[in-house]
A and B are shown apart, each in its own frame.
Chain A
């Protein structure tokens, strides 16, 4: 025992030395960072800026004249639980595409989660009206064909503003095309097909009001502000998908 006890003070000394060292190191004044050079300026590819600005302006007018009144009617005429149910039905359909894309990105676990959500919400959730899966702890995923292309190494290409549909890039427009091509609604008769697409558009736009207000109230040049927010968001989604692989 004496032998063992004799060793203890030594251990204490060593540990104190180790304990003390980092604290001392931390006290050393850090070199003052040069803030201006710390952030690299991102390159934004927008060769069609004049055309994009024109379409952006058209969309603003379209929103003011058509989308906003329709949104208002939708919110006033339909009660909140019903609108939530409508959103859940579209989200349930969307989960199928999120699952497909997680699969294409090689994220099998997430794809499994997405398809489990679809199975649960379609059955117990009465055709997707209720998002039971979220309450059971299966979180809703994120992603689309544009993100998958990004994960595969496709760059964003030039920034584009699409009429009515809004901000995009060349890559994400291709992604949107793939989505439309793989959407069963595309192959319905025109009247129900377009009605469903229009309903989803109105619903999605009615849920984004807070973000749109925030952009309007805080931007100095709305075109540039929106462009930056959109491009950053797409980049973040793709990076998150790449990192989790």
Chain B
């Protein structure tokens, strides 16, 4: 009964504590609901790739089957190549038949894997630090911002991810504000207007054959 005469400052403290607990629970509940997935994916992907690249002996540039194997194992399962191809084709995607769409996706992912296998060689003496995650409009997509630190000045790498297929997948990577997929879209638009959808497939096949 004595306890019921809680001194006033004590009550305020308890109230503040409760309010703080409520707030932290609320904030804590909202953030992991969407942030834990994509951010963890990027963090794990970056550390996997970095560790794999470092385990290889240093090599020069050019297509390296070991680097390609790392991409196949650590990156490909976490990328949505179907969506990447759709974005690269833009409105011309609908001009392609389902068979052509499959062909474009397969050839284009092959080209991207080759391109990335050259780029990840630089991860040997760099580390990826996750900076922040922000919602990307209303469609549930998010952008995970990271920074590559190590030699020289740090460079930003932003990953756009979507949960549309039920698991988080990367559909665009922006290095220092440059999206490789957007650059390909510019090329594909030109190829479609001069040689049609078949022109895109032919150009991709020619590039991959080299």
Specify whether A and B are partners.
yes
B contact patch SS: helix
The number of chain A residues touching the other chain, given as a range, is: 35 or more
Q: Is the CB of B182 within 8 A of A232?
A: yes
Query: Which residues of B have CB within 8 Å of A75?
Result: none
Q: How near does chain A come to B75, taking the closest CB pair, in angstroms?
A: 15
Q: Interface size for chain B: under 10, 10 to 19, 20 to 34, or 35 or more residues?
A: 35 or more
Tell me, yes or no, whether B40 is within 8 Å of chain A by CB: no
Q: Can you name the residue of chain A whose Cβ is closest to the Cβ of B4?
A: A3
B192 to chain A, nearest CB (A): 12
Q: A2-B4, A220-B187 are in contact. Are A237 and B177 (CB under 8 A)?
A: yes
Q: Which residues of A contact B11 (CB under 8 A)?
A: 4
Q: Knowing A30-B139, A35-B87, say if A221 contacts B118 (CB, 8 Å).
A: no
B residues adjacent to A (C-beta < 8 A):
1-4, 6, 10-11, 14, 18, 21-22, 25-26, 29-30, 33-34, 61, 83, 86-87, 89-91, 93-94, 111, 114-115, 118-119, 122, 139-141, 153-154, 162-164, 171, 174, 176-180, 182-191, 203-204, 207
Q: B111 and A228: CB pair below 8 A? A: no
Q: How far is the CB of A99 from chain B (nearest CB, A)?
A: 16
With A3-B4, A218-B115, A237-B177 known as contacts, the answer to whether A32 contacts B22 (CB < 8 A) is no
Contacts of A7 in B (CB 8 A): 14, 18
Are B21 and A11 closer than 8 Å at their CB atoms?
A: yes
A139 surroundings in chain B (CB, below 8 A): 153-154
Binary interface encoding of chain A residues 88-106 relative to chain B, with 1 for a CB under 8 A from any of its CBs, else 0: 0000000000000000000
Known: A35-B87, A217-B114. 15 other contacts (CB 8 A): A2-B4, A18-B29, A23-B29, A30-B139, A33-B139, A36-B93, A39-B185, A41-B189, A210-B122, A214-B119, A218-B115, A218-B180, A228-B182, A228-B183, A233-B176
Task: Report 12 cross-chain contacts, Cβ distance below 8 Å, ordered by A residue.
Answer: A2-B1, A11-B18, A15-B21, A23-B33, A32-B164, A33-B162, A38-B87, A214-B118, A219-B187, A225-B187, A235-B177, A236-B176
